[in-house]
């Protein structure tokens, strides 16, 4: 099946620093990728839709200036958590739909962010 | 009201049991439907797509009732390796996840 990679898998940082997470589709091109966040014992919540060649669209309540998304190419989207705080500690997962938006999606392995 | 509702469980069943999970969704414009499986601290993995005609994959059977906006998953002959959280997912563009139903299969 389609493969999506994510890097890093785990990051621990100090409060106030910025963290960049990369999401790559390895064997297909993705004009759209999605970023989700999952807090412990909760379901995945969509944060934003990353669009190649245009601005990302953010879900209600997600600060676009705090969570910067750049869809640099058809195989790479990055999420930068700026000025991270302990409440940003979470499991961040990206996904991409090989068949286009609305179809099944393949997920990256996730990035566990811990902000001290 | 959540867009996708699931019984959180946990469902504790013995090996070999048959277990059924149910899910309801609120947006009638939803186009695609899936069951995903998520193991602890891992990313979700697609278990199967769900169609109105029903579909079966080995021990797993999924069913969609669009009129009732209801999705089900049946697992027969449960294995220890089936222990996981099962996520009901609907899609218009991005995926909307239910909160998951935790299954623990016991020896």
Summarised one tens digit per residue, pLDDT across range B29-67 is: 888 899 999 998 888 888 998 988 889 999 999 999 999
**Per-residue pLDDT for chain A (116 aa), expressed as one digit of tens each?**
668 999 999 999 999 999 999 999 998 898 899 999 999 878 889 999 999 988 999 999 999 999 999 998 999 999 999 999 999 999 999 999 887 766 778 889 999 999 99
Q: What is the pLDDT of residue B53?
A: 87
Q: CB contact, 8 Å: B35 with chain A? A: no
Q: What is the pLDDT of residue A101?
A: 65
Q: What is the pLDDT of residue A1?
A: 62
Q: Which residues, other chains included, contact B17 with Cβ-Cβ below 8 Å and sequence gap of 6+?
A: B78, B105
CA distance B44 to A106: 8
Interface of B with A in 38-57 (CB under 8 A): 41-46, 49
- Residue A100: HSE in the Cβ half-sphere, 13 Å Cα cutoff: 1
Of the candidates A34, A43, A45, the beta carbon closest to that of B87 is on: A43
Q: Work out the percent of chain B whose per-residue pLDDT is above 70.
A: 100
CA distance B27 to B25: 6
Q: Which ranges constitute the DSSP H helices of B16-88?
A: none
């Amino acid at each position: 099946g389609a493969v999506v990679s994510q890097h890093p898998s785990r990051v621990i940082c100090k409060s106030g620093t910025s963290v960049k997470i990369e999401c790559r589709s390895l064997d297909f091109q993705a004009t759209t990728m999605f970023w989700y966040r999952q807090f412990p014992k909760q379901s995945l919540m969509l944060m934003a839709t990353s669009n190649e060649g245009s601005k990302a669209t953010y879900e209600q309540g997600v600060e676009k200036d705090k969570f910067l998304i750049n869809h640099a190419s058809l195989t790479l989207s990055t999420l930068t958590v700026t000025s991270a705080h302990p409440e940003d500690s979470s499991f961040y997962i990206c996904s991409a739909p090989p068949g286009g938006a609305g179809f099944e999606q393949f997920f990256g392995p996730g990035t566990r962010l811990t902000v001290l | 009201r959540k867009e996708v509702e699931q019984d959180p469980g946990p469902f504790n069943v013995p090996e070999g049991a048959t277990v059924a999970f149910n899910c309801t969704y609120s947006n009638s414009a939803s186009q695609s439907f899936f069951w995903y499986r998520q193991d602890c601290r891992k990313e979700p993995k697609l278990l199967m797509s769900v169609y109105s005609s029903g579909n079966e994959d080995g021990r797993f059977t999924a069913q969609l009732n669009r009129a009732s906006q209801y999705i089900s998953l049946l697992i027969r002959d449960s294995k220890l390796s089936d222990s996981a959280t099962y996520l009901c997912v609907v899609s218009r563009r991005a995926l909307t996840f239910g909160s998951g139903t935790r299954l623990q299969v016991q020896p």
